[in-house]
Structure 1
Amino acid sequence: MAKPKRVGIYVRISRDRKGQELGIQRQEKACRELCEQRGWSVHKLYPENDTSASTTSRKKRPQYTEMMRDAKTGVIDAIVVYSIDRLTRRISELTSFLDEQKEYGFQFATTEGEDTSTASGRMILTIKGAVAQQETERMAERVNAALLQRREQGKPHAGGKRQFGFEAGSHFRELDDEETKLIRVGYQMLMSQKTPGDVARLWRDRKTTTPEGRAWTIQSVKRVFRSQRTGGIVTYKGQDIGDSIYPSPLKREEWENVQALLDSRATPAAQGSGKRKHVYTGFLKCGHCGAPMRVQWATIQGRTFRRTFCHSAQGNGMGGLGCGKVSRKYDWIEERLNEVVEAALSKRKPKPLPTPDVDLAAEITGVESRIRLLRLRWKDGQMEDEDYYDSLTHLRGQLQQLRTREAAAVVAVAQEETDALAVWHDDNEENLERRRAIVASVIKQVEVYSIGRGRRKPPEITSIKITPVGAGTEAGEE
């Protein structure tokens, strides 16, 4: 076989915590010494630092990909590595490498003396590759077992960014007192029919920011309350394992109450309760063609005002487009509709608070006791691991269902609106969605008709047709 003229050296190390690249430097030195002994000329180095090649790694290896491309196109005619486990720890990848070597004819060598020119040499190399893969898989099993044991002991994952409510550098073991107080105040607000927007505004007023130094928004507040760490819940591979042994801003039951509350608001809502900028957007229909009418700010002859109009490019829900014949000032329509909503709310009587159908506390306590007894039996060696985890999964599923039902009952009580009229009069921008939900309980739709051009007197009330909730499309209130 001809002597290679353009050799590529591939060096890799799985973990380099300090970033000093000492491991790949030692590999490179040994590979260059091998090339010098054989009289091979080194053409290019392909270094892959802090990069795993195991079956459990999802990290890409761009240098390995580039090296194989160069070998296939003839840029290099030989590959040298320190050992086979530096090249790969996947038997499937090794098999593919050997097939490509045979197809494209490039040479291969390691400092440990593997020979791929013979069938027996390739077999030995394949066996070594299988041993390397087994080693990484057994290592992953040991690591996963250790992680699971720590989670079972109530020790959460200590890595990741700092989370609001926990002391910086404490690895989620110590609470920040001031931030914890704000989380608890936020919890009370949410359970008292306030919104994440109300909480964000309060936290901004208290001169606090997110751990990244940004201003609080609705989404960043939700992330705090959605985090399982906030409720002291330990997870493993996305599964609820148990409660943390360290303090947390909220109790598990409180955290589950918040989840039920946020989930109830995330479900498909009634008409008109989507993200809008105006209270009645989505309720207004063109009286001529039935297409939804838009609301926007307009400036005409130096005067700025809001208008609602039928857009000729807007679908009318019947396979056609809007007629574009209706354009009206929005403020007059808004005032008339506000009168209708307020009149309806003033007639309402406060709803009695619902009472839970079943007291679930005893059932929850019973399942928790069964879990504790199960854990004691497993620790005493009276149960096999497989039986323990199967039984534990089943009991935790029951416990989760009971707690969800209990949380839903708490939220149902908290969601009873004690004074809808007071909520309606709060025209703050962050209260818009709650006001629209109130509108959806009163008004089904509003048909808007054209009043012509050049009118100076106020429009007639008959220029809009209001269909209240519960009425048919033909019957309405004018």
Structure 2
Amino acid sequence: MGDVPLRCGIYCRISEDRESEEKGVTDQEADCRELVASLGWQVVDVFIDNDLSASTKAKKIRPRFEEMMRQAEAGVLDVLVSLSNSRFTRRPMELERLITLHDARGTLLYTVKSGNDDLSTADGRMVARIKAAVDAAEAERTGERVARAARRRREAGELHGGARTFGYVHKSPLGYCQEIDPLAEKALHAGKDVLLRTGKVSKVRKLWQEMGVLTPFGKEWENDGNVARTLRNPRIAGLVAHDDEIVGPGNWPAIFTRAEHEAIVAALGTRGAKGKGGPPKARKYLLTGFIFCVCGNPMSAQVYIPPPGKSGGYSRYICIKQRGGCGQVSRQLPWLDAVVREWVCGAIEGRLSVPEGEEGTDPNPALEAKIRELEAEIKRVQGGQRKGIYTDDEALEEIIPMRQQIQALRSEQGDLAKQAALIPVDREEELEDWLDDDPESLYERIAILGRYVKRIIVKPVGKGGSNGVDGPPIDAVVIVPRG
């Protein structure tokens, strides 16, 4: 290329940036620029993937790495520069991609600390592959150490990683999650009251916007899914959780009580769970999850819209034999929706008698006693683990089933707590929301339905009747109210 300087792309990456300050990648860029200047080359672009891993276990795409590769493959870059080989990648398969790039374009790889492997020779490629294998193994060993340490912290009731938690003072002198933020605490309790009263996450978001509270990263609350995930976060209730299961109490102050947390989880359902930004897309029909055949099998919605000019369309709830049902009961979807719609209207307006729970039958004390018994047994096993009586694997085999039992008992408590924590609703507003046919309001109507209806049982209409047409006897549908 004569006197024309080589065109360089600098790549910087750090796996974890808890403070979101990008100090690590900024330092990498400065070192890389110093190397490029010493060689008399030209920096064309800087590609930064902050807070992204390049290990074999990583699932997220590194967008700037991909952009750098596109430019190099297009012949825009002559040299790729990074702090070390491990900043480029810890994946042997990605190294092969870089070797292919060199073969096709002659693109060079330079690093500040790992040397410059000559990818044009067999020995150079061998050395680069050995480095990549070593980097991959080190990343995996680090992951194993981190997982073991996190498990130990969970068992001790300590925080074990994760993003900043709304409700607590970040960089508190008392330690992370040890000091409650008064304004955020007020917002959380106000949001809880709104959620339990209305069932609407959107109203909580609007309330927080009006209060002027910001996310832990200083941004406005613009996404209902983020609000839902925040409200259901077990940390706010002082609880240690792993893989969506409560492990036990944490060693930091709680903002919500356990009963309030369970009530919130029950009110939210699946909204904002598992990192999703909102309710699952699979829920399309009002009665799904509430409607059962008399045989005990959940009924499914089936809708078929024929092509233009064709007949034979249908929409119905049906007991499907292939899913364990009797296959003999079905109802027209619009008809059954209308029956339930009218029943709930009556319940909201007070025209129906919805039975209350019997006095003196509160199962909470018994549930709590069983939970405490299981928690005591878990502590006993953990003590034996520390003394070497149990191996780690043996302890986990004992502990995991007990945690699953606790989770089921807590779920029962959640249903009870939700009912106990509900604030009287505005009946006129609730009726208006219930009668809203906008598809976007489906989840609001499902929330209202769940406040009044426990389940709906559909019976066969008998000989000479019809399961699948409008107008079967009303008494062939039994609506079980939520007591």
**Bin of the TM-score, shorter chain as denominator length:** 0.5 to 0.7
- Structure 1 stretches of 5 or more lacking a match? 37-41, 274-316, 321-336, 442-466, 474-478
- Structure 2 stretches of 5 or more lacking a match? 15-20, 272-278, 291-310, 315-341, 437-444, 454-470, 478-483
Aligned partner of 1:444 in structure 2 is none
SS at match of 2:159: coil
Aligned partner of 1:452 in structure 2 is none
Measure the CA separation in 2 of the matches of 1:72 and 1:349.
69
Alignment CA distance shift 1:225-1:11 (3 Å): closer
SS at match of 2:13: coil
Aligned partner of 1:470 in structure 2 is 474
Measure the CA separation in 2 of the matches of 1:218 and 1:64.
31
One-letter amino acid of the counterpart of residue 12, structure 1 = Y
Would you say 1:127 and 2:130 are equivalent positions? Answer: yes
Aligned partner of 1:406 in structure 2 is 413
Aligned partner of 1:380 in structure 2 is 387
One-letter amino acid of the counterpart of residue 363, structure 1 = K
Contact 1:8 1:45 in 2 (8 A): yes
Select between 234-243 and 368-377 the one with higher mean Cα deviation.
234-243
TM-score, normalised relative to structure 2? 0.58
Measure the CA separation in 2 of the matches of 1:349 and 1:50.
57
Would you say 1:256 and 2:262 are equivalent positions? Answer: yes
Would you say 1:246 and 2:231 are equivalent positions? Answer: no
Would you say 1:98 and 2:99 are equivalent positions? Answer: yes
Q: Aligned-pair distance for 1:396?
A: 0.9
**CA-atom RMSD, angstroms?**
5.4
Deviation per CA, 1:326-378: give whole Å up to 9, x if none. Answer: xxxxxxxxxxx99x959x95684864527357933332222111111122122
Would you say 1:394 and 2:393 are equivalent positions? Answer: no
Measure the CA separation in 1 of the matches of 2:212 and 2:240.
26
SS at match of 2:151: helix
Aligned partner of 2:459 in structure 1 is none
Deviation per CA, 1:144-170: give whole Å up to 9, x if none. Answer: 33333333332336764562x545654
Alignment of 1:3-402 (within 5 A): 7-15=6-14, 17-18=22-23, 21-33=26-38, 35=39, 42-49=41-48, 51=50, 52-57=53-58, 60-61=61-62, 64-77=65-78, 79=80, 83-108=84-109, 112-156=115-159, 160=163, 163=166, 165-167=167-169, 170=172, 171-176=176-181, 180=185, 194-196=197-199, 208=211, 210-211=213-214, 225-236=231-242, 238-263=244-269, 319=313, 345=350, 348=353, 351=356, 353=358, 355=361, 359-402=366-409
Measure the CA separation in 1 of the matches of 2:382 and 2:232.
28
Alignment CA distance shift 1:263-1:99 (3 Å): closer
Q: Aligned-pair distance for 1:57?
A: 4.6
TM-score, normalised relative to structure 1? 0.59
SS at match of 1:12: strand
Q: Aligned-pair distance for 1:89?
A: 2.2
Alignment CA distance shift 1:210-1:409 (3 Å): same
Deviation per CA, 1:23-46: give whole Å up to 9, x if none. Answer: 32223333453x46xxxxx35444
Q: Aligned-pair distance for 1:248?
A: 0.9
Measure the CA separation in 1 of the matches of 2:48 and 2:381.
45
Aligned partner of 2:329 in structure 1 is none
Select between 8-17 and 391-400 the one with higher mean Cα deviation.
8-17
SS at match of 2:428: coil
Contact 2:240 2:250 in 1 (8 A): yes
Select between 151-160 and 209-218 the one with higher mean Cα deviation.
209-218
Percent identity over the alignment is 26
One-letter amino acid of the counterpart of residue 131, structure 1 = V
Measure the CA separation in 2 of the matches of 1:242 and 1:65.
42
Alignment CA distance shift 1:160-1:106 (3 Å): closer
One-letter amino acid of the counterpart of residue 402, structure 1 = L
Q: Aligned-pair distance for 1:56?
A: 4.6
Deviation per CA, 1:95-115: give whole Å up to 9, x if none. Answer: 222133224444555562532
